[in-house]
Amino acid sequence: MVLNNRFRLSHMVVGGSIAMSALALSIMPAYAEVANQPVVSVATMSVPQSRSALLSQLPQGVSLRYLNQLSALYAANHMQPMWQDRTAVQQFQQQLAEVALSGVQPQFTQWVQALTNPDVSGMARDAVLSDAMQGYLQFVSGVSATKGSWLYSSVPYAMAEPPATLVNNWQLSIRDGRLNTFVKSLEPAHPQYAAMHKALKNLLADARPWPVVSDGPSLKPGDLSADMPALREVLQRTGMLEGDSSVKPTPVPEAQPLQSPASQDPNAVISPSTTAVTDLTKQQPSPEAEPAKAASVSVIDNRYTPELVEAVKRFQQWQGLASDGVIGKRTREWLNVSPQTRATLLALNIQRLRILPGEVNTGIMVNIPNYSLIYYQNGAEVLSSRVIVGRPSRKTPLMNSELNNVVVNPPWNVPTTLIREDIVPKAMHDPGYFERHGYRLFSGWSNDAEAVNPYMIDWASVSPRNFPYRIQQAPGANNSLGRYKFNMPSQDAIYLHDTPNHGLFEKDIRALSSGCVRVNKASTLANMLLQDAGWNDARVSSALKEGNTKYVPIRHRIPVRLYYLTAWVSEDGKPQFRTDIYNYDDTVRSGAKIAAQAERLFQL
């Protein structure tokens, strides 16, 4: 696509041909942007000539993904550099690095590598920046168009041309001297972005080797372990070890025992935690006159002390884990997450901000991996509650909907998946299973379906996959939906509801349901919604005692958003991280490989 007359710049003809040597003017130093590059005066050129000119500037091993499109753009711009705004270059490079760190598309990794290549300078660097902008514009528009599905898939999305409207806006911003404003408009429009961006930069800057806490049995207060030096360093560097400023980075040992899990990974950072307690004492020989003192020091250094226990509890709370001070599998996994990996998690979740509303006036927001629900009214938080979400095999979907009614004393029509996978396999050889669990059978799903006696069913003629009956659990204290159900349109039959088993809300990992969202403070939420519908406390209490099912329409539909954010920044400025229960964060593994190059782009 040629944007004719986009720029009216002076030009000259040398011997009837293009002065190609002019393109080599002002080759910039490594890692510098093309700001302040002098205008190159060239004759109007064709697209093929522009293509040749661009290719002539690229060092070996560097290519342009959008060469055809860029050839047209640079021809229309008389081969003038597009990136002469220093601030715009800095902002764009950082946004580009954030996408590369997220790992959603490997092409962004190649752009970061090219932009940190000292051989890519001058017009070559200008072209790479423009190439990356083409891909970035496709990404920004595509994330919205696909409702964020690219950000929750382990398969990279397909590269394509960006929308012509966005390309035109980019070119207009260059012509009008507004490139910096245009680039800034491509940031996620969310209040969290600035804080997450800052936290990401700080994490990338910590490039020191990260200690490894080795696998093994759970460590309890008072236990001895060679992992204590590594643990102490992790806790100090994450700010969890209060009042301890004496800890220095643990040196990497020259050797490691065969049992070390890190020995399986040549890229792993090895710490003294992989060395046995006895070996540590050998590495630090003491004078012969003080053998007892040396042994005592070794034991103290490797003791899981009360000070460390309290720091671990703070660390666990920070990660959304049960703060019991016991170092088990999940705590170990988080202790071993380096600052660079945490930066990639922030980068991925920064992109997820693009599909979230910047402000919520009235609505319910459920963050699935944080197991949390927040209800806003007129911009203010009026309710916060723990929730239980779908287990990994029956994920709670990401969705937007609106609450349209509250059901008091709801019956429960068991979903087909549960019927096939859970109930029928148990009941086929024990028809009494239905009565013991409060289930009733009906001949079909219509309102006039007749009740069916499970003992009268010819169980030899049915199977879990071919079960024609509807199973319903009657309202009551033991009903799986509890006392309240909050309906909203959903193609997956997802809704919010109460539960009779509130003890499960004390668990730290609450991915336990079959997909619907159980709300700990369901009664509080119901009372707020019912009051808005004209019900007072006495009427609610009477309905609960009566036990009959009541469907109460909501006067003003309440927007509901179920979203998935595993990293953000809390009000105290500290980045928060949560367990990726659905493995939606797997893409960051590729992003972590370019952490060093990405960090350089943040510094340019």
Instruction: Give catalytic residue positions.
Output: 497, 516
- Are the C-beta atoms of residues 339 and 357 closer than 8 Å to each other? no
The alpha helices in 363-504, defined as continuous H runs, are 416-418, 424-427, 432-436
- Are the C-beta atoms of residues 564 and 369 closer than 8 Å to each other? yes
Task: Supply the DSSP string of 350-383, one letter for each residue.
Answer: HHHGGGS-S--SSEEEEETTTTEEEEEETTEEEE
Helix, strand, coil abundance in the chain, percent, nearest 5: 40, 15, 45
What is the DSSP code (8-state) at residue 536? Answer: -
Degrees to nearest 5, angle at CA 457 with 454 and 463: 100
Closest by CA position to 490, among listed 396, 366, 418, 408: 396
User: What is the amino acid identity at position 28?
Assistant: M
Closest by CA position to 127, among listed 53, 45, 76: 53
301 is written with which tokens?
A: 């250094």
Beta-carbon contacts of 78 under 8 Å, excluding residues fewer than 6 positions away, are: 7, 9, 11, 42, 43, 44, 45
603 is written with which tokens?
A: 């510094």
- Could you give the C-alpha distances from 437 to 299, 423, 547, in angstroms and in order? 55, 10, 18
Beta-carbon contacts of 62 under 8 Å, excluding residues fewer than 6 positions away, are: 114, 117, 119, 120, 124, 128
